[in-house]
Amino acid sequence: MGALTRSCPPELVDRVVNEAGRSEKRRRLLSARFTVYFVLAMCPFPQADYLEVLRLVKAGNSGLRAWNGVNKSSLSRARQRLGWTVMQELFRAVARPLGREDDLFHGLRVLALDGTLLAVPDSAVNNDAFGKSGSARSPMGYPQARVVAVAECSFHAVLDAVVGGFKESERIVSDALGTHVASGTLLLADRGLWGLAGWHRLREQGTHLLWRIERRKGRRVQDVLPDGSYLARIEANKHSKAAGTVKAPPAVVRVIEYRIGGQADIVRLITSLIDHEQYPAAELAALYARRWEIELVFDEIKTHQRGRPVLRSQTPDGVRQEIYAHLIVHHATRDLLNEAARLHQSTAERTSFTRALHVIRRSVPPRAAFPPPPANGTDASVSPRSAAVCHPAAGLVSAPARSALASPATAARPPENPQVTTDSR
């Protein structure tokens, strides 16, 4: 599927499927490998039904045997056999930082942590698993899945995500995050995600933190620094209603206070970057504004990529599977934009996410080729990364840059014998 197989080659898919214990004991027409690519293909085409997505995938491989008996029910059963943990592990295997060295802040990769809500179909099992707004007697709207994610501020690449329910707070859901949040990173977060235990956990992983907190916290001043910031001691709430819980130890943080545009409200930040000479308060205050980049990431997924107000899966496992598939497709799109920006010697801000989605949608039908793995366990196909199956980034850069992306035999060549499948009904 062009750009998608560039990020998720068959070898990687087979390895993740085998590690998850989802490989077949007998040869199936709807193999686990094909089901993974089918679920990924659903994301760029949110308005298409199962059979239309199947036609798009089949259109690029005329060598596949006849798919007699394949219908919506068999595709649904294939998704159930696959499960959602395969897509989660595949996303974690694919997700990687895309920013360059010049995007770092004093040698630290800047990440943002935040959450969003996704509406899911109003089935009984989805309602029980995720919940919806309103009271128990008068619920309102669709059930909603809460997604808490860590994203790279420079290239909008989502590096890790956890799916929870509507009734769960973002702070509780975020405790399961850990991928790519380690030494050499600076994590930005809003006050709704503040927690002293989470602060210590992230600091033990080696990541630095820049968080906004409420004005009533961080008042125990220990030392005032020359740049106007100060060191303060934060302790666990002694009046917490959680009886029997172990209180987190206190932490010494650096507090930065400022106003925006002469407004009366004071913004209060706390950070683990204590050195005021290496990390001036004015630079940290300006850097915190980049936390809003993750809101643009959610907009790219929910508005442009998803293209519909409600996900299509009727079960909780299907919802989680679909969400991680959307994250994989988003990362593949961002990876494509990264390649285009590199070829064009441009920046991420000057590349169009919507145009990249159009390129990916065009690359699916003429480039799809997902036969089941051979019975002997070896894959006779050539990896898309080495065989240059598709060079979709060539559509996002100028003509001189395309020559560096594709060989003369494959550069900017239209698909041979394009197939258009129509339904007589």
pTM of the model: 0.83
- Measured between alpha carbons, how far is 247 from 156 in angstroms, rounded to an integer? 35
Dmax of the chain from CA atoms?
Answer: 77
CA-to-CA separations, 200 to 8, 25, 62, 206, in angstroms, rounded: 35, 45, 56, 10
pLDDT band, residue 422 (cuts 50/70/90): very low
Q: What is the DSSP string of 321-341?
A: HHHHHHHHHHHHHHHHHHHHH
- Measured between alpha carbons, how far is 141 from 25 in angstroms, rounded to an integer? 42
Per the CB < 8 A criterion, the answer to whether 421 and 55 are in contact is yes
Q: Can you give the pLDDT at residue 287? A: 95
- 108: which DSSP letter? B
- Measured between alpha carbons, how far is 39 from 7 in angstroms, rounded to an integer? 15
pLDDT band, residue 28 (cuts 50/70/90): confident
CB neighbours (10 Å) of residue 217?
Answer: 18
Per the CB < 8 A criterion, the answer to whether 418 and 366 are in contact is yes
User: Is the pLDDT reported for residue 342 higher than 60?
Assistant: yes
Residue bearing the bigger pLDDT, 214 or 113: 113
Structure tokens at 358: 């159009």
The torsion of the CA quartet 377, 380, 384, 386, rounded to 10 degrees, works out to 110
Determine phi and psi for 87, rounding to 5 degrees.
-70, -35
SS3 label, residue 397: coil
pLDDT band, residue 6 (cuts 50/70/90): confident
pLDDT band, residue 69 (cuts 50/70/90): confident
User: Is the pLDDT reported for residue 164 higher than 80?
Assistant: yes
Task: Give the mean model confidence (pLDDT) for residues 184-210.
Answer: 91
Residue percentage of the chain with pLDDT more than 70: 80
Rg of the chain taking only CA atoms, in angstroms: 24
Mean pLDDT of the chain, nearest integer: 81
Q: Can you give the pLDDT at residue 362? A: 82
| Residues in the chain, total | 425
- Partners of 162 in the β-ladder: 148
Element (H, E) at 40: helix 32-42
CA-to-CA separations, 228 to 43, 280, 362, in angstroms, rounded: 49, 10, 54
Task: Give the mean model confidence (pLDDT) for residues 18-38.
Answer: 87
Which residue's structure tokens are 């894959």? 379
Structure tokens at 22: 């989802």
Q: Which of 61-65, 77-81, 218-222, 247-251 has the highest mean pLDDT?
A: 77-81
User: Is the pLDDT reported for residue 159 higher than 90?
Assistant: yes
CA-to-CA separations, 364 to 41, 94, 420, in angstroms, rounded: 8, 19, 13
Residue (of 196, 200, 189) closest to 234 by Cα position: 196
β-bridge pairing 185-189 and 109-119 = parallel
SS3 label, residue 394: helix
pLDDT band, residue 276 (cuts 50/70/90): very high
| Ranges 138-142, 144-148, 362-366: which has the least confidence | 362-366
CA-to-CA separations, 44 to 56, 57, 137, 367, in angstroms, rounded: 11, 12, 37, 15
CA-to-CA separations, 419 to 186, 313, 365, 366, 367, in angstroms, rounded: 49, 29, 8, 8, 12
Q: Can you give the pLDDT at residue 146? A: 95
Task: Give the mean model confidence (pLDDT) for residues 130-137.
Answer: 83
pLDDT band, residue 135 (cuts 50/70/90): confident
Q: Can you give the pLDDT at residue 57? A: 79
CA-to-CA separations, 232 to 150, 195, 221, in angstroms, rounded: 27, 16, 4
